[in-house]
């Protein structure tokens, strides 16, 4: 659906440009019909994005999120005062006005245990006012607060984390007024691809526990490889096997007199296979519950498992399945679960308090280990595509190389995340800082600052507009390229010592970036009409273009080409129309 909107917008923009050019009497190059070019252009168009209607769709991050995070520079040395000072500086310096809206607390905000109610709590020494009050403070300045946890038993710095605590943690974050959530992958425990062997499935009343229906193996519908195994060891003399790795599933019908919460009981046949087992309960195709079965001691042959599920009024189709065939399946299921809980929690909180819902930008951070670009758009708003960035040329170059081929997976609301910015950190030269920022803007990367933005405020309280890093980060034209509503990540059109990247923009414009990876100045000739032929852009095919050299802030009218002279480790960016 999004794709259609985008195509329509692009088509309207394209025809408008042609019309206005004609009115202005500009020369529009007459096209000769080239069937091969048309087919190529069509083929490319389809590849522009893989985003579909099944996206996460929480209504936020429709352009790449922008903000700041504590991790890159401050690591564990964080506290309430720092976060407040950063929020103040974001506003005072004008960064917030440029779009940098999220102030994100990364790892190390937590106390080392949950509270008496099982909720995550902050370290009371470093955050004496608590996170809710901090969110209120940050909000009062006009910016938003973000927080961090891990899809594991502990965070990367070994604090309590959210795996198997998804609901309570999502509700806690919603109560605190959090609007950005980064979900890491340290201490993850993958879901087993083994499924329990099932003797009977029952549906019971959620309040009284009364069993409303019970299905033994011969009364279940068995799909795929699921099969009945005769067994003298259990009372019913049989159980169902063949459910591992999504090979088969069990389906039972249940007519509910009213919609609501019910209990699903599983009678299982204990077995000696090592490790835990897992089954998912789907109701009418919806993922309703995850049932984990611990590794068993086999003193008795049978065991019981129970979870509550929501049933619809009328006939329900209840399916038991373990779809985990790989580590990537496991990660996708776990990340999607948290995504659903975040949406549920913000809605619940808003309804209970009569307030406007504050959707949470959901940032998946499993470092690109489980192909998150394949499932991330359904799970959340952005997904890390690489391991951690460092403040060095080699680090951001390597990350760029990994992120650039993933363009087709990004679209509004769903972004590849090559990690937070190191602009202004370490020993990056000014040209390297410019290149780093340019690449992230071209790649529709989230722009999450990692430097100490308090340094942009001088002692007398005024903004240090002469600061080169400040100038880079507040270059509104560059930010505009990143935030362009088409939301199309750049493609690499030329690969070499100097790469050429092309990003379609609204109103039939494009941004072209020349990125010099070499250790000497590079000279690259750009012929603009060539880019009009690319299937994924709407640049009109004509002889002369108006060009804006973004970093030099120079406009050049009516040119057909330009020779970009790019310093070592630097980048030049042009907007062409
Ligand atoms: C991982 C993440 C980083 C940061 C740290 C915090 O390494 O990839 O971005 O959040 O954990 O411990």
Mean pLDDT of all residues in 109-116? 98
Number of residues written out for the chain:
577
Residue 390: closest CA among 427, 445, 442: 427
Q: Which residue CA neighbors atom 3 of ligand 1 most closely?
A: 388
Distance CA 110, CA 117 (A): 15
The pair phi, psi for residue 516, each rounded to 5°, is -95, 110
| Å from CA of 376 to ligand 1 middle | 18
Averaged confidence pLDDT in the chain: 93
Give CA separation, 139 vs 101, 103, 179, 410, in Å. 10, 10, 10, 29
> Is residue 289 over pLDDT 50?
yes
> Is residue 134 over pLDDT 90?
yes
Residue range 228-242, pLDDT digits in tens:
999 999 999 999 999
The token pair that represents 128 in the structure block: 């004496």
Mean pLDDT of all residues in 492-501? 98
Give CA separation, 223 vs 218, 244, 250, 316, 330, in Å. 13, 12, 6, 17, 21
Residue range 420-478, pLDDT digits in tens:
999 999 999 999 999 999 999 999 999 999 999 999 999 999 999 999 999 999 999 99
Residue range 255-285, pLDDT digits in tens:
999 999 999 999 999 998 999 999 999 999 9
Distance CA 148, CA 107 (A): 6
Residue range 2-15, pLDDT digits in tens:
333 333 333 333 33
Q: What is the pLDDT of residue 24?
A: 36
| Å from CA of 135 to ligand 1 middle | 22
Atom of ligand 1 at shortest range from CA of 156: 12
Angle (CA) 469 571 574, round 5°: 105
Q: Exposed e or buried b for every residue in 375-401, given b needs 16+ CB within 10 A?
A: bbbbbbbbbbbbeebbbebebbbbbbe
Residue range 240-251, pLDDT digits in tens:
999 999 999 999
Give CA separation, 539 vs 10, 35, 503, 512, 526, in Å. 10, 19, 11, 12, 14
Secondary element (H or E) of residue 548 = strand 545-549
122: Cβ contacts below 8 Å, ≥ 6 apart: 109, 110, 111, 130, 131
Q: Where are the beta strands (DSSP E) in 257-321?
A: 260-269, 277-283, 286-293, 302-311, 314-321
| Å from CA of 573 to ligand 1 middle | 31
Distance CA 459, CA 395 (A): 33
Residue range 497-543, pLDDT digits in tens:
999 999 999 999 999 999 999 999 999 999 999 999 999 999 999 99
Mean pLDDT of all residues in 74-84? 98
Mean pLDDT of all residues in 125-145? 98
Split at pLDDT 50, 70, 90, the class of 43 is low
Q: Which of 105, 106, 162, 383 to mutate to test the pocket of ligand 1 (most atoms within 8 A of CB)?
A: 106
Ligand 1 contact, 184 CB (< 6 A): yes
Q: Which of 67, 68, 364, 365 to mutate to test the pocket of ligand 1 (most atoms within 8 A of CB)?
A: 365
Q: What is the pLDDT of residue 10?
A: 36
In DSSP terms, 169 is beta-bridged to none
Helix (DSSP H) and strand (DSSP E) numbers for the chain = 14, 27
Ligand 1 contact, 388 CB (< 6 A): yes
Q: What is the pLDDT of residue 375?
A: 97
> Is residue 419 over pLDDT 90?
yes
Distance CA 321, CA 243 (A): 7
| Å from CA of 173 to ligand 1 middle | 19
């Amino acid at each position: 659906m999004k794709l259609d909107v985008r195509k329509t917008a692009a088509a309207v923009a394209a025809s408008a440009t042609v019309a206005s050019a004609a009115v202005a009497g500009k020369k529009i190059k007459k096209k000769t019909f080239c069937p091969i070019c048309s087919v190529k252009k069509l083929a490319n168009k389809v590849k522009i994005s893989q985003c579909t209607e099944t996206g996460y769709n929480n209504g936020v991050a429709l352009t790449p999120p922008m903000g700041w995070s504590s991790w890159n520079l401050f690591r564990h040395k964080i506290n309430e005062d720092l976060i407040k000072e950063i929020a103040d500086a974001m506003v005072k310096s004008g960064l917030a006005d440029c779009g940098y809206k999220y102030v994100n607390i990364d790892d190390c905000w937590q106390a080392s245990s949950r509270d008496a109610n099982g909720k995550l709590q902050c370290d009371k020494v470093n955050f004496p006012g608590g996170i809710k009050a901090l969110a209120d403070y940050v909000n009062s300045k006009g910016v938003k607060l973000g927080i961090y946890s891990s899809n594991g038993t502990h965070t990367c710095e070994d604090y309590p984390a959210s795996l198997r605590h998804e609901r309570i943690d999502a509700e806690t974050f919603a109560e605190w007024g959090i609007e950005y959530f980064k979900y890491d992958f340290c201490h993850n425990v993958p879901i087993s691809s083994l499924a329990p062997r099932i003797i009977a499935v029952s549906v019971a009343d959620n309040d009284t526990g009364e069993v409303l229906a019970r299905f033994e193996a011969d009364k279940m519908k068995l799909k795929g490889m699921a099969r009945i195994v005769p067994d003298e060891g259990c009372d019913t003399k049989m159980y169902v096997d063949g459910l591992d790795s999504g090979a088969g599933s069990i389906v039972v019908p249940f007519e509910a007199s009213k919609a609501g919460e019910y209990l699903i009981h599983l009678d299982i046949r204990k077995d000696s296979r090592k490790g835990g087992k897992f089954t998912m309960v789907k109701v009418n195709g919806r993922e309703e519950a995850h049932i984990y079965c611990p590794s068993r001691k086999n003193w008795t042959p049978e065991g019981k498992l129970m979870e509550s599920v929501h049933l619809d009024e009328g006939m329900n189709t209840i399916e038991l399945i373990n779809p985990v065939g790989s580590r990537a399946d496991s990660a996708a299921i776990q990340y999607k679960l948290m995504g659903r809980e975040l949406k549920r929690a913000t809605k619940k909180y808003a309804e209970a308090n009569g307030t406007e819902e504050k959707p949470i930008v959901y940032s998946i951070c499993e470092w690109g280990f489980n192909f998150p670009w394949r499932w991330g758009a359904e799970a959340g708003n952005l997904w890390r595509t690489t391991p951690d960035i460092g403040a060095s040329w080699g680090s951001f170059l390597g990350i760029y190389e990994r992120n650039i081929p993933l363009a087709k997976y990004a679209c509004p609301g769903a972004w590849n995340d090559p990690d937070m910015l190191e602009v202004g950190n370490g020993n990056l030269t000014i040209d390297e800082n410019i290149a780093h920022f340019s690449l992230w803007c071209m790649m529709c990367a989230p722009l999450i600052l990692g430097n100490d933005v308090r340094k942009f405020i001088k002692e007398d309280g005024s903004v240090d507009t002469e600061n080169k890093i400040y100038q880079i980060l507040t270059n509104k034209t560059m930010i505009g390229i990143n935030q362009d509503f088409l939301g199309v990540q750049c493609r690499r059109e030329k690969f070499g010592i100097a790469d050429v990247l092309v990003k379609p923009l609204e109103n039939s414009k494009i941004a072209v970036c020349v990125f010099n990876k070499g250790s000497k100045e590079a000279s690259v000739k750009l012929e603009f009409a060539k880019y009009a032929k690319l299937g994924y852009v709407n640049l009109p095919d004509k002889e002369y273009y108006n060009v804006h050299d973004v970093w030099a802030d120079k406009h050049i009218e009516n040119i057909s080409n330009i020779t970009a002279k790019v310093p070592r480790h630097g980048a030049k960016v042009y907007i062409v129309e």
